[in-house]
Amino acid sequence: MTEAKTASIYSRRSALQLMIAGVAGLAGSNLLGQPALARTSPAKPTGRVIVGLGQEPTVFNPLMVHIEVDDGVHFSVFDALFRIDPQGVIQPNLAVEVPDQKNGGISEDGLKWRIRLRDDVRWHDGTPFSAEDVKFTLELITNPNFRSWRTAGHALVRDITVISPTEISWRMEEPFAPYLSFLTETFIVPKHILEKEANPNNAAFNQAPVGTGPFKWGQRVPGDHLELVANPNYFGEGPHIERLVFKYIPDLTVLYTQFKSGDVDLVGQPYITPDHYGEAKTLPNRVVTLVPRTSFESFYLNLERPQFRELAVREALYAAIDKEAIIQGLYYGVPTPTETFMPRQSFFFNANLPLHQFDVNRAGKILDQAGWAKGADGIRAKSGVRLSFTNSTTSGDPLREQVQQFLQQTFAQLGVEMKISNLPAAVMWGEFWTQSQFDSVIVGSSYLIGADPDVTNRLHSRSIAVKGGRGSNNAQYTNPEVDALLDKGARTFDPEARRAIYSRVQELVRRDLPFLPLYQSNAVEGLKKGINGFVPNGNTRTESWNALAWYWAS
Amino acid sequence: MSGFLLNRLSQSIVLLVIVSIIGFTVLNLMPGGPLAQFGLDPGMTQKDVERLATQLGLNRPLWIQYLDWAWRLLQGDWGHSFRDGSSVLAVIGRHLLATLLLMGTSTAFAIAVGAWIGIRGATHRYSLFDYCATVGAMVALSVPTFWFGLIGIYIFTLKLGWVPAGNMYTIGDGSVLDYLHHLILPSLVLSLVHVAIWSRYMRTATLDALSQDFVKTARAKGVSERRILLKHVVGNALLPMITLAGMQLPSILTGALVTETVFTWPGMGRLFLDSLGYSDYPVVMGLLIFSAILVVLGNLIADIIIATVDPRIRLG
């Protein structure tokens, strides 16, 4: 019964939506339900898929602080209570159903959570999985000596009670709807192994993890690759391939070359670089498509700088950005222009925001009307403030550097001086970024945790780190209405009600322009023809979120 | 001899302390640090970042961090990598073999070919061969290695299909033949530069030996040119090469930054670049100390060998 449930996650409706999303070519038979799958996938796991990655996965305890590239391993070796599908709908994974206020899994006040778990799950070493493991996991995350990753949401959990091996409940300190999404990225670790460790930070488990997932730990050659092997006793669908290899290839040109030469079967993060997109599409026996990512690129402003305090300045700068020229001319047409931080594949995406129009003359008029007049040096100024600022981004990113030079020229026509001052990544995203020490930056990042629309961390006035806040609202954006909406959204569980709330947030942010939205990034995903079952999922951070469904055409 | 060794040892310790202090300071003064990589993670709050800084001991005063690190090192604890939590010595050990394979092959090749070109260039001075060798060496030294690497991959992998596009071995194969197949292109590319260096040094050293009085005496006595070259010239010309080899020893074990990246070779050079990129302080410091020890050792060994083979030199 439960098995059928997992398989039917991917309904015909979802297949249709994927086709609309333009990725039909990639949609494998696992989208069409169990019968089609049984016809084409091998009876027992066979073959191997090599995923090429530009960064090396090094963190295998999924609860420890890690980066995006480690996710592919976590999704393959472990299971979470829930998973998020490509449409942004949360599906059960180790749980048998997704709790909500209707089915009683979450109480009316949002404080009591009760999760029912599968009874047919075993750890890779044969030990049965139970609610004790879930309790242990949630407690380990908030252990002050443990180098855990995100603690938001988990820190609100109290009174975890194991009701039976297949049922667990807890109380939340306050209602917090995004927690369900957070749990899709919270992989459950085995209590019976980790409880014996005096120091969980240096446990042997961290180098050879034991999970419940479709793949078991194989071996790792540091600096080179790591290999996972099929778990034939997996409770859900798959796996269909016998070995899954993550190969580390640090140079992106070489990553593409190895895809071209056939050494790599599937290109993972950071995918094929835009300059190779045109050529990659013409390669024989390869499938190359654009896959929407959650990452959102913007011209990000520090609103506490006197140059940017006035909305007119921000509107004028936005009008002076020729997005289309940048996307087509510099980015080979890869990204999609956007007006919001919300990815378009999200259920909460607001499609009715005013569209940006490039118009330098209008930009000039806006500044004239607001009283920013050109001085003797050709630069506009108002009340002693010159409209001059620096712009920074990660050095060594040739595409962004070209964007900067392009904008510098347009802004100069407008009487705005933009100086370029780029920093290495390790410097850029340290205090310079977190403590709002910049004037403006070009930055691409996701705003969402899991696929939850809650962006309190990014846009709430309580989240300004330099003012003692605890988040990363580094633009120092403050809007009481946005604050109130974000507070309300975090306490609201009904998706439709939340959609209205976050639509309004997007409207206000589009109006206030704390950052000038440029585009949503698309991954140039490449894989060999013959790999079936590959489904991109813009609601996760990895291309390998469901390697369990991959198989080679026989 | 023991006095010499004692003297050398004390010098080396002072050197290592200075290197470690400078390295530690520069590394930590670089803004950003190991937590910068999480700066764009939407779910990492400022509070999470501060918690991690405390757990990793990064918010203590710099001199305490240094003394703590140095004290542990003295007790044989090189620390643990921030990235994967394994001990620094284990991390170095895993990458050492790959580098040894690549650098050993290319250096052995470079010494043999470089020495031959150098000697031949010196005995056939201003010949066509000599001019070609000189120009070739200049080109090899001035063109960046990564360019040779990419051109090599383009021609020999993509166009001709003779050799693989990097990697140390085929995943799932790993036979000796497979390793050798993968070794050809990167070791040749890497040895280009080394051949150039060795041939230039060898040419100068040979010319120097050729102009010595004992060569003239041998010629006057009617010894054959071949015998003069083998018996009197090469032996003397190789002496400065021993010092050069001693200075090259560290690079054999610390790897080639660029070549290892282009050829996806999991060696020490790439480990260094990656660790620096992630500000993995324990590993970067470990590599620094490791290479400093190698420099000291390399020079020491070269001095001892020279003293042994050249009766004119005495240590002490």
Q: Where are the alpha helices (DSSP H) in A59-123?
A: 71-77
What's the whole-model pTM score? 0.87
Query: How far is A218 from A209, CA to CA, in rounded Å?
Result: 10
Strands A243-248 and A225-230 come out as antiparallel
Query: How far is A180 from A99, CA to CA, in rounded Å?
Result: 9
- Asked if residue A493 lies in contact with residue A249, where contact means CB atoms within 8 angstroms, the answer is no
Copy the structure tokens of residue B34: 């190991």
* Residue ranges of A 229-268 with Cβ closer than 8 A to chain B: 243, 245, 247-251, 253-254, 257-258, 260-261, 263
- Chain A residues whose CB is inside 8 A of the B267 CB are 223
Which of residues B237 and A547 earns the better pLDDT score? Answer: A547
What confidence score (pLDDT) does residue B1 get? 67
What confidence score (pLDDT) does residue A510 get? 97
Going by C-beta distance under 8 Å and a sequence separation of 6 or more, which residues neighbour residue A367? A312, A313, A316, A380, A387, A414, A415
Taking an 8 Å cut-off on Cβ atoms, the answer to whether A150 and B264 are in contact is no
Copy the structure tokens of residue A348: 């909460």
Closest residue of chain A to B53, computed from CA coordinates: A147
What confidence score (pLDDT) does residue A251 get? 87
What confidence score (pLDDT) does residue A216 get? 98
Going by C-beta distance under 8 Å and a sequence separation of 6 or more, which residues neighbour residue A506? A339, A340, A341, A342, A350, A353
What confidence score (pLDDT) does residue A16 get? 39
DSSP one-letter code for A507: H
Taking an 8 Å cut-off on Cβ atoms, the answer to whether B274 and A430 are in contact is no
Query: How far is A473 from A523, CA to CA, in rounded Å?
Result: 26
User: Which of B52, B30, B55 has the alpha carbon at shortest distance from B39?
Assistant: B52
Taking residue B129's Cβ as centre, other Cβ atoms within 10 Å add up to 14
Before A398, cis peptide (omega within 30)? no
What are φ and ψ of residue A34, in 5° steps? -60, -45
Query: How far is A462 from A483, CA to CA, in rounded Å?
Result: 8
Q: How many CB pairs under 8 A join A and B?
A: 179
User: Which of A486, A461, A483, A490 has the alpha carbon at shortest distance from A473?
Assistant: A461
What confidence score (pLDDT) does residue A247 get? 95
Q: Tell me the pLDDT of chain A (554 aa) as tens digits.
A: 333 333 333 333 443 344 334 333 333 333 333 333 444 677 789 999 999 999 999 999 999 999 999 999 999 999 999 999 998 889 999 999 999 999 999 999 999 999 999 999 999 999 999 999 999 999 999 999 999 999 989 999 999 999 999 999 999 999 999 999 999 999 999 999 999 998 999 899 999 999 999 999 999 999 899 999 999 999 998 899 999 999 999 888 889 999 998 999 999 999 999 999 999 999 999 999 999 998 999 999 999 999 999 999 999 999 999 999 999 999 999 999 999 999 998 889 999 999 999 999 999 999 999 999 999 999 999 999 999 999 999 888 888 999 999 999 999 999 999 999 999 887 888 889 989 999 999 999 999 988 899 999 999 999 999 998 888 899 999 999 999 999 999 999 998 999 999 999 999 999 999 999 999 999 999 999 999 999 999 889 999 999 999 999 97
Taking residue B174's Cβ as centre, other Cβ atoms within 10 Å add up to 12
> Quick check: B295 contacting A, CB < 8 Å?
no
Taking an 8 Å cut-off on Cβ atoms, the answer to whether A430 and B51 are in contact is no
What confidence score (pLDDT) does residue A66 get? 93
What are φ and ψ of residue A92, in 5° steps? -70, 150
- Chain B residues whose CB is inside 8 A of the A259 CB are none
> Quick check: B128 contacting A, CB < 8 Å?
no
DSSP one-letter code for A356: P
- Which of B264, B272, B283, B287 is best to mutate for the A interface (most A CBs within 10 A)? B264
> Quick check: A420 contacting B, CB < 8 Å?
no
Query: How far is B292 from B286, CA to CA, in rounded Å?
Result: 10
What confidence score (pLDDT) does residue A17 get? 44
What confidence score (pLDDT) does residue B164 get? 84
Is the alpha carbon torsion for B125, B128, B134, B140 positive or negative?
negative
Taking an 8 Å cut-off on Cβ atoms, the answer to whether A430 and B171 are in contact is no
Run of H or E residues at A551: strand A551-552
Query: How far is B42 from A444, CA to CA, in rounded Å?
Result: 11
User: Which of A138, A131, A145 has the alpha carbon at shortest distance from A172?
Assistant: A138
- Chain B residues whose CB is inside 8 A of the A145 CB are 55
- Asked if residue B296 lies in contact with residue B16, where contact means CB atoms within 8 angstroms, the answer is yes
Before A214, cis peptide (omega within 30)? no
Taking an 8 Å cut-off on Cβ atoms, the answer to whether B47 and A151 are in contact is yes
Taking residue A340's Cβ as centre, other Cβ atoms within 10 Å add up to 23
Taking an 8 Å cut-off on Cβ atoms, the answer to whether A249 and B83 are in contact is no
- Asked if residue B122 lies in contact with residue B199, where contact means CB atoms within 8 angstroms, the answer is no
- Asked if residue A96 lies in contact with residue A238, where contact means CB atoms within 8 angstroms, the answer is no
At B305 the three-state DSSP class reads helix
> Quick check: A310 contacting B, CB < 8 Å?
no
> Quick check: A35 contacting B, CB < 8 Å?
no
Query: How far is B268 from B252, CA to CA, in rounded Å?
Result: 10
Query: How far is B119 from A418, CA to CA, in rounded Å?
Result: 59
Q: How far is CA A432 from CA A301, A408, B210, in A?
A: 13, 22, 61
Copy the structure tokens of residue A30: 């696992």
Which of residues A519 and B3 earns the better pLDDT score? Answer: A519
Query: How far is A113 from A115, CA to CA, in rounded Å?
Result: 7
Query: How far is B185 from A470, CA to CA, in rounded Å?
Result: 51
Whether B63 has a pLDDT exceeding 60, the answer reads: yes
At A438 the three-state DSSP class reads coil
> Quick check: B80 contacting A, CB < 8 Å?
yes
**Contacts of the segment A366-372: beta carbons below 8 A, 24+ positions apart:** A366/A312, A366/A315, A366/A316, A366/A319, A367/A312, A367/A313, A367/A316, A367/A414, A367/A415, A369/A312, A370/A310, A370/A312, A370/A313, A370/A316, A372/A312, A372/A313, A372/A415
> Quick check: B311 contacting A, CB < 8 Å?
no
> Quick check: B27 contacting A, CB < 8 Å?
no
Strands A48-53 and A243-248 come out as parallel
Taking an 8 Å cut-off on Cβ atoms, the answer to whether A59 and B83 are in contact is yes
**DSSP states of B181-237 as a string?**
HHHHHHHHHHHHHHHHHHHHHHHHHHHHHHTSHHHHHHHHTT--HHHIIIIIIHHHH
* Residue ranges of B 271-290 with Cβ closer than 8 A to chain A: 271, 273-274, 277-279
Which of residues B166 and B60 earns the better pLDDT score? Answer: B60
- Chain B residues whose CB is inside 8 A of the A475 CB are none
> Quick check: B42 contacting A, CB < 8 Å?
yes
Whether B229 has a pLDDT exceeding 60, the answer reads: yes
At A67 the three-state DSSP class reads coil
What confidence score (pLDDT) does residue B315 get? 66
- Work out the angle at residue B137's Cα, subtended by the Cα atoms of residues B134 and B142, and round it to the nearest 5 degrees: 125
Taking an 8 Å cut-off on Cβ atoms, the answer to whether A469 and B85 are in contact is no
Taking an 8 Å cut-off on Cβ atoms, the answer to whether A254 and B95 are in contact is no
- Angle of helix B268-277 versus helix B88-123 axis, rounded to 10: 130
> Quick check: A69 contacting B, CB < 8 Å?
no
- Asked if residue A416 lies in contact with residue A317, where contact means CB atoms within 8 angstroms, the answer is yes
ipTM of the complex: 0.84
Q: Which amino acid is at A381?
A: A
Going by C-beta distance under 8 Å and a sequence separation of 6 or more, which residues neighbour residue A302? A308, A436, A438, A439, A440, A474, A475, A476
Roughly how many angstroms between the first and final C-alpha of chain A, as a whole number? 29
